[in-house]
Every structure is written in C-alpha cells, then in structure tokens.
Structure 1
Amino acid sequence: MPSITVSDASVTSVDTDVLVLPLLRGADGAPSVVPGEDAVTAAVAALSPSAGRGETHRLPAGDLTSAGSLLLVGLGAEELADVSDQDVRLAYGAAARSLAGVGSAAIALPGATAEQLAAAVEGAALGAYAFIAHKSEAAGAKPALGAISVLGDLAPAAVERAEILADAVAAVRDLVNTPPNLLYPAAFAERAQELAADLPLTVTVLDEEQLVAGGYGGIVGVGQGSARPPRLVKVEYAPAGAASSVALVGKGITFDTGGISLKPPAGMEEMTSDMAGAATVLGATLAAARLGLPVAVTTYLALAENMPGGGAQRPGDVVTMRNGRTVEVLNTDAEGRMVMADALVDAAAGEPDLVMDVATLTGAAVVALGQRTAAVMGTESARDEVLAASAATGEPFWPLPFPEELRPALDGLVADLRNMGAGRWGGALTAGVFLQEFVGDVPWAHLDIAGPAYADSPFGYMGKGATGMSMRTVLSVLEQRAGRA
C-alpha cells in the first residue's frame, strides 16, 4: 500500500508527480469547476472536461502548479455539499487506480469537510493497489501508486485509520488474487500465521487428523476429494477490558470445482475467489488488532479445496457435523454451507454477543442482487448492525428474509437435514436457513458476498479481480461495538 503523509504545501507549490483535484459540474450547463481554484477552472474550461463521478482527466501542469501534471477527477455533482463520502471515496479511488506506475501524488479537496477529506484519503489508499506478483518484466505491469500526500488539515488518527484499512483490504485482495495452486488450505493457514505474527493475536490450526477427531464432518467431507487436506484456523484477539465479544466465520474454499457435482468449465477459474469470506474476516481481525479496538474477536477460517478426486464425497453421502447433526449431501457443489456450519457450531459455543459469517455462498444471491450488492440475513438486531455499518462504509448490502416455508424442504430422508432445498427458488435464502440450524440462539448475521467479492471490470477504488468488499463493513461493526463509529 502507499505511504500517506499530510503536507502543508499549497496547490501551487506542492512538489509531487501528480496533483489530484476535484471537478464539479457547472451550474445550468456551464463548464465544470475546480472548487476553490479559479485559475485551474479557467485554464481547463476550453477542454470542457466531464465531471461525472470517477471520470479522470490527466493534463500538463503548465504554470498552474509545481506538480509534474494535473489529474482532475469528477465528483458527479454541482456542489461539494451534495457529494456523499462514498462518492468521494469512489472518485479518489478511481484517480489513484489510474495512477499505476506513478511514484507520488498529492490529493486536494478544497472546501471539503473533515469527513470528506478523510474519505478522499481512504478512497485513494484503497485505489492504490495492484497485484503483479506473478507478472514478468516483459508484461510491462505497473506497480500501484507509491506515495500519497494530503493537502489539508487531516488528523493523524484519520491518516492512521486510512493506512490500516487499506492495508487490511490489500491483504484480503492479495489472498483472493493468489492462484489456487499457491493458496491451498495449508498455505492459507500459514499465511494467516504470518500476518498475525506481530499482532496481539493467537492462531490455532487444526489439521485433517484433528478435524476428523473433533467431529468436523462438514469440513472433512468437502476436503476429502483433494490431495491438499482441509484446515480450520482459529484466530483470537482478546484485549483487556473488552466491551463486547464477536465471533467471525469465513468460508475458505480455496478452489471450488463443485466436486462430483462438477461445475461447468466456463468461468470456473474465478472459483479461486471462493475463499473471499475467510480472507475478509481475517482482514477485519487484523485491522481490529492494529486499531486496538476494545472488542474480543474470535475468528474461524473454514478452509478446504473442493475437488472431484477418487476419495471425494458423493451425492447421497451422509456426514455427521460438529454438533452431531447428520446431513445428506444432495449436491457436492453446495459445499460452502457444509464447512461454514461446522465452524458456526464452534463460534456459537463460545456464547459471543454477536456471530457474523461471511461467504461467497450462492449464485442465487448474485441473481437477486447483482454483482455489486451483497446480501445480509440473520436475526433482526444483527442484520440491522450490518446495515448500519454498510451505510457508514458505503459498501452496499440488502436485507433478505428467512421465509418459514423454506425450512421443511431441508428435512432429510435418511438423515436429520439435507444440504439443498427443493427446487431452484430462493437458493440464497435456503442456504441461510440451513446455516441457521447450526447457530443456536445467539445474535447472528450471515453475509453472502458472492456478487461483489470478485469483479470483472474496475469500479471506483476497486480494480478487476478481488475487491475486498465487505471487510470495511465487518470492521465497522466491530468499531460500532467499541464505541468508535
């Protein structure tokens, strides 16, 4: 991630490669305006630059500034007061994303509120990301923007928070973008240990033998077709005087072929992202520890590779879950709920104040809500917490119900439950209803991020591939419980 500093230099005197300035629409069809910078406005008027949100225009600096060049970014409004914090994040994220290969940039937002300036820094830090670890020099890949200086009065705490957020989101993106031959369950567990090493976190890893002995039938069953066995990783953050306790559970299918119920080949390469839920809750835990939040967090990463090997579970198999319930496996591609259910049993057993799980769980959620909006289900109070956090971060979530009529379809023929409902309708809801069977009475929120976790095209501060979407929302819930909203 880029380094972030605060500068007292002016727009005209700043020494940087690129100066980023906002662009507002002119009133009544007039040319676009750079607020507070009449000279820049006059200089670019003849170019008629569009002020659509996130649209960027790279220009020579001329005599306007000491910076090497100018980058104007549209905010999509006529008045700065009409621009939301999320619009600012998206715009300045798009600006930073467009500056790949640039060493340094200064960002300014003349006339902004403290919240808007903090959002600009956060967006720029989130947008300054590139995953080029596996590209050779011949590919000409450009590294992310290297350094950001902020022109304005921004509190050190806001800078630190932006750095921590961007670093945690980058960790999530790196994990999701890592190819599945390099990030398998054991490798993910090792990476979690490495990321937690310098933080007040305790990491425990259960291997395949311990999972069998512990009765984690869902995780073991999903992973038994792979030459790379499953893992369950527990990450604990236990600050003194914690005001609340939260358990997080993440789906960590490091690659999902569908198993014996094999997926179609088209698009299967994107199933490298099926561990985005586990990456998300790990990132939120790392950020909570770095921020020193007075909230106890216990995080479970349910890790397996779903492969159609000779030892793979079959449709029709019956497995015994961590809590002793038995489940008929009707479809081996409904594997996420199986690994999540085992981990949810452990999460709920600790009787936390809140359980949140995050998963790229169902294609049905994408059908219902599209590729940028995630679903949230669960108990009403927990669901409302997530929605409040979503509003604060600008990450879009939409609440979905648990209709009572879906539950009978999960009754098994020869076992307690089946891992699929009857028919194709309400698939995202049925998956949530299945998970509900393993949570008990604790407040619980289920976040299905199947759509927005991985992107086919860039948008705002998110590039193609892993987005890190939902990490900031999960962290915001923890911050709310810490009294730091």
Structure 2
Amino acid sequence: MTVSLTSQDPARLAVDALVVAVAQQDGAPSVLGADRLPAELRTQLADVAALGVTGAADEVRRLPGTGLAATVLVLTGVGPADRITSETLRRAAGAATRELAGTASVGLALPADDTESVAAVAEGALLGAYSYTRYRASEAAKQAPVSAIQVVTAHPRDREALAAVARAEVVAAAVHGTRDLVNAAPNDLYPAAFADAAKAAVKDAGAKGLKVTVLDDKALAAGGYGGLIGVGQGSVRGPRLVKVSYSPSRAKVKVALVGKGITFDSGGISIKPAAGMEAMKSDMAGAAAVLHTVVAAARLELPVAVTGWLCLAENMPSGTAQRPSDVLTIRGGKTVEVLNTDAEGRLVMADGLVAAIEEKPDVVIDIATLTGAQVVALGHRVSAVMGTDDVRGEVVAAAEASGEQFWPMPLPADLRAGLKSKVADIANIGDRFGGMLTAGIFLQEFVGQTPWAHLDIAGPAYNERTAHGYTPVGGTGVGVRTLLALLEGRAPAS
C-alpha cells in the first residue's frame, strides 16, 4: 500500500472511490467540503439526511460519483463537527478504506490541511486497508485491500507532511505485521516458528542496527529460565526466548520491551473451558507487538537503543506438563509455586523481565494479554497500564498521542499478601478479586528498582466482535503505536 499527497481538485481525482466526511452539525448531517464537489452532486447532498446518512462515527455510505472522475463517492462519518480530533479523522479514514476492500485506488478529501491531520488520515487509511487471507483457498474470497491512497491537502509538498506520511507507512506496516502474527493458526505459529518469523521480519526490514538472538530449550535450561521451561514442557514444541535488539550508534537512551508470547494457551493441566478457547491463539499478541515495535523503531532510525524480549511457549496439557503445586526457579533464582497452570503468562514474563533488567535499561515496558480480569474491568477496547508512577503516566500520554486507549491502574500493596506461598518465594496466583492488579504485583517482584510499566492488553488485542473504525475482526495490533510514541518521546532532541 502506498500513500501520496495531492492538492488536485477532488472532483477531478482519478481514483476508483472518493471519500468525503459527514459531520453532525446543529442536529443534522452536513458534508464537509461540499463546495469542492460538482453542482449536480452538491444538490444531491444538500439533504443528505434523506439518504439515511447521519454523520455518526463508523458510518460509511456509497453513492454514485455523479460528475466526479471517481466512480463512487463515499461518505464517512466523523461525529459532531465541534469534536473532530486526530483520532476521529483516523477512525473515519480507516472505516472508509476497510469498507472499500476490493477497490484499487481511493482518494480521501477529509479535513487535512495541517501536518497532524494529514498524519491521522494517512495512518487511519492504511490501518483500515488491511485483510488477512492466508488461509483462503478461493480467489474470490481473497478481497484485496485498497492498494493506492491519495490524501487531498493544500500542502502536498510540505516536508513535515511528507515525513508524517512516511512515518504512517512504517507504523501501519508494524501494526499489520503484528495482526498477521496474531491471526496465524497455532499449528503454523509455534515458538520455533515465531522465532523464525522474527528473523524474517528483521531481514525484511533492511534496517541498520537490528540483530536477533534465539535461545532454544537447551539454552533456556542452561540459563535458568525456569518459567519458560515450566510452561513449555507440556508441549512437544519447546519454548524459545528471542532477543531482538536495535542498537543505533551513540544512543544515549536504552529501553527494554518484554512481550508475552504464548502461541496457544490451553490452560495446561488447569485447562480452560472449550468455549472460546480458539481465541487463545492470540495469547502471543504482546510478543508480536514488541517484535514489530523494535523493527519499526529501526526503520524510523530513532536515536534510542531498544531491546525486545519475546517470551515464547505453548501451554499444553500432557504427561510432561507442569502440575499445580510444582515449584519453578525463575531466572535469577526466585522460586514460584504454581497454583494454577493457566496463570502461565506471568511465569514466562518473569524470565523475560529478569533477562531485560540484567542489561540495565533506563526503563522496561512489558506488554501481555495477561488476565481475563482486564476485560472484566475495562472491556474489549481499553487496555490497562500499571507500574512506576512516572512511567505509567508516560504510557498514558503516549497512548493519547497515538490514538490508543490505556487506562492507569494501581498496584495496591495489600494485594501482595495474597501471593504468599507456603513453600516458595511467591505463588503465581492470589485472590480472585483484583486479579489484574495482582498479576501486575507479581511481575513487579521481578523488576527491582528499574522504572517499569506493565501493559495488560487481554481484551483489546483480539477483536472477536464486529470491525470498527480502522480495527478489523481478529488481531488488532494494539500497543504498537503507543510503544512507538513512547520511544519517540524518549528520543533526545536533535
């Protein structure tokens, strides 16, 4: 997919579909920029409400392109006219390109006359123009996404606008790469295959300073990675710890990212209910986000050293699986009593956090589809962030800037008592209530004094409901944009 900027008259834009915005103004829908359309079409759109159009967010309608060079006119809702933001533009553009799958070229004549709005429209359009067809046998079912996107703006040659479009292309590629991994079938994406995918992503990026290191079963055992070994021992496909590092020259800032990569989570011996288990192929979304964030940072040539740790295992029940009451020794020596094998993500993440902190980063961020309690607390579209107060605030600010939703949550000290073990340093589960917070407190045990934040993306990482805005059904790629914005915020001023 490519994005270009143009100042051409929208009516004369040689595209298959022209997209314009409809806002809600004074209780009625109004087409924004209608004065740039042919008179015949303006007359048709004068009473757009009669066409059943409301201007509500996520509403997309197609009309004949009367008087246009484009075949089709597409109306995309942006909601109230006085509340149009970068994110509403991003979602409106994404909703349009998502609905236009199978259309080769699209022109977007949305409000985009400054760098921020150009960036939002370009990014939203790219994010919406996504499809996953790997397992479709029929060519008819493989509806190609929009491949060529033109954004109408008054300043098509502005350097900052062009740079914003180039960044949007890198960001969208990272989100799409994350979605592809999350959507892959678990018989194809197991720990070793994920490690190979990481190598391929680094190679394909063609960026300087990228390197991949893979620890297999034997190396993990020798290194004392008891969490990964314990969780992975029930599967015939062993665990992996993948280190993806981006090391630009003379970087003064060092950030570590740790991602949960359970390529399939059956729950192990503490097996999950059958209903809904198919979605557990998405339990590696955190690791996927980390991989593609590091690759994107390298492609953007950020002056920040970033190391990603992908904690990969398949959690299966078998004669060799770990049992409730087993005791594991995490990297660094701390012992964990496993009271529930379905609380496995925190075990592999503990290994990854210890390994990350051994390299003395300035800050460590972990991201994981960690708890069902996150969905209970915040639903399917809002992720949680816990951790050191300043880093937690930094994540929230980065999320707001990038258009993702992260809500700050506490780590109450009194919940630590629920993790006491009778035989080990700590147990892997605590009280039922406040389970999301307890999981964060567990991870906190393995970060020491390093500034840290924990992102729980359990609900938002995988959309089992209907598509909306630029978000498809299936893998969403959540977290990538927030992590990139955080890295950019940490970059020294040039």
**TM-score scaled to structure 2, two decimals?**
0.95
Alignment-derived partner of residue 145 in structure 1: 146
| Equivalent position to 1:379, from 358, 378, 388 | 388
Structure-2 change in CA distance of 1:256 and 1:31 (3 Å): closer
1:34 and 2:32 matched: yes
Aligned residue for 1:164? 170
Q: Quick check: 2:302–2:488 contact (8 Å CA) kept in 1? A: yes
Choose which of 249, 259, 265 in structure 2 pairs with 1:256: 265
Distance across 2 between alignment mates of 1:466 and 1:143? 18
Give deviations 1:181-204, integer Å, cap 9, x for gaps.
Answer: 000000000000010012231100
Cα distance between partner residues in 2 of 1:139 and 1:472: 32
State which of 450, 457, 474 in structure 1 corresponds to 2:458: 450
Question: 1:395 aligns to what?
Answer: 404
Q: 1:56 aligns with which of 57, 60, 64?
A: 60
**What amino acid does structure 2 have at the position aligned with 1:50?**
T
1:66 aligned to 2:79? no
Whole-Å separation in 1 of the counterparts to 2:118 and 2:103: 22
Single out whichever of 354-363 and 18-27 deviates more from structure 2.
18-27
Corresponding letter in the other structure for 1:113: D
Q: Deviations over 1:287-337 (max 9, x none)?
A: 100000000001100000000011000001011110101111000000000
How far did residue 78 of structure 1 move?
A: 2.6
1:242 to 242, 251, 257: 251
In structure 2, distance between residues paired with 1:404 and 1:285: 33
**Do the aligned partners of 1:454 and 1:467 also contact (CA within 8 Å) in 2?**
yes
SS in 1 for 2:392: helix
CA distance in 2, matches of 1:390, 1:443: 18
Aligned to 1:106: 107
Q: Secondary structure at the match of 1:250?
A: strand
Offset of residue 229 of structure 1? 0.3
Q: Which of 340-349 and 403-412 deviates more?
A: 403-412
Alpha-carbon shift at residue 470 of structure 1 (Å):
1.1
2:446 — aligned with what?
Answer: 438
- 8 Å CA contact 1:26, 1:33 repeated in 2: no
Give per-residue Cα distances to partners, 1:413-435, cap 9 Å, x unaligned. 111111011x3111001111011
Aligned mates of 1:186, 1:340 — CA distance in 2: 18
Deviations 1:106-162 (A, max 9, x none): 111246433122201110010000001110116623121111111212422011011
Once residues 202 and 169 of structure 1 are traced to their aligned partners in structure 2, the CA distance between those partners, rounded to angstroms, is 20
Tell whether the 8 Å contact from 1:86 to 1:119 is kept in structure 2 after alignment.
yes
Q: Does the Cα contact within 8 Å between 1:21 and 1:72 map onto a contact in 2?
A: yes
Structure 1, residues 252-289: CA drift from partner, whole Å, max 9, x if none?
00000000000000000000000000001111101100
Using the alignment, how far apart are the partners of 2:344 and 2:59 within structure 1? Answer: 41
Give the superposition deviation at 1:380: 0.6
Judging changes above 3 Å, is the alpha-carbon distance between structure 1 residues 286 and 318 closer, same or farther for their aligned structure 2 residues?
same
Within-5 A mapping of 1:43-442? 43-48=44-49, 49-63=53-67, 65-79=68-82, 82-110=83-111, 112-137=113-138, 140-152=141-153, 153-154=155-156, 155-197=161-203, 198-200=206-208, 201-421=210-430, 423-442=431-450
Decide whether aligned partners of structure 1 residues 369 and 336 sit closer, same or farther in structure 2, where only a CA change above 3 A counts: same
Q: Write the distance in 2 (CA, Å) between the matches of 1:119 and 1:47.
A: 26
TM superposition shift of 1:35:
2.6
Distance 1:175 1:223 in 2: 19
Contact 1:168 1:283 in 2 (8 A): yes
Mean CA deviation greater in 42-51 or 382-391: 42-51
Amino acid at match of 1:125: L
Distance 1:355 1:111, change over 3 A: closer
Q: Which moved more, 1:326-335 or 1:69-78?
A: 69-78
Q: CA 1:44–1:407 in 2, change beyond 3 Å: closer, same or farther?
A: same
Indicate the residue corresponding to 1:19 in structure 2.
18
What is the distance in 2 between the residues matched to 1:46 and 1:85? Answer: 27
Give me the CA root mean square deviation: 1.5
The alignment partner of 2:133 has SS state of coil
Q: Secondary structure at the match of 2:380?
A: coil
Q: Is the 8 A contact 1:243 1:481 kept in 2?
A: no
In the alignment, structure 2 segments of 5+ residues that lack a partner are: none
- Counterpart-to-counterpart distance in 2, 1:46 and 1:7: 29
| Paired residue type of 1:291 | L
Q: State the one-letter code of the partner of 1:87.
A: T
Identity within the alignment, %: 54
| Contact 1:4/1:148 (8 A) holds in 2 | yes
8 Å CA contact retained: 2:243, 2:309:
yes
Deviations 1:61-86 (A, max 9, x none): 011x211111111110234xx30111
How far off its partner does 1:349 sit? 1.2
Q: Following the alignment from structure 1 to structure 2, what is the Cα–Cα distance between the partners of residues 288 and 484?
A: 16
**CA shift for structure 1 position 484:** 7.3
- Native 8 Å contact 2:61 2:75 kept in 1: yes
On the 8 A contact 2:262/2:312 being kept in 1, the answer is: yes
| Greater shift in the superposed pair: 394-403 or 152-161 | 152-161
Question: C-alpha separation between the residues in 2 aligned to 1:41 and 1:177?
Answer: 43
Query: More displaced, 6-15 or 429-438?
Result: 6-15
Contact 1:31/1:45 (CA < 8 Å) preserved in 2? no
CA shift in 2, pair 1:60/1:16, >3 Å:
same
Give yes or no for contact 1:35–1:111 (8 Å, CA) kept in 2: no
> Could you tell me how far apart the structure 2 residues matched to 1:34 and 1:321 are?
58
Q: Does the CA-based 8 Å contact 2:182-2:281 persist in structure 1?
A: yes
Distance in 1 between residues matched to 2:405 and 2:35, nearest whole Å: 33
Aligned mates of 1:30, 1:474 — CA distance in 2: 39
Once residues 110 and 169 of structure 1 are traced to their aligned partners in structure 2, the CA distance between those partners, rounded to angstroms, is 24
SS in 1 for 2:12: coil
CA 1:318–1:131 in 2, change beyond 3 Å: closer, same or farther? Answer: same
C-alpha distance in structure 1 between counterparts of 2:25 and 2:326, whole Å = 65
Give the total of aligned pairs: 479
Conserved? CA contact 1:36–1:110, under 8 Å: no
Return the alpha-carbon distance in structure 2 between the equivalents of residues 36 and 392 of structure 1: 30
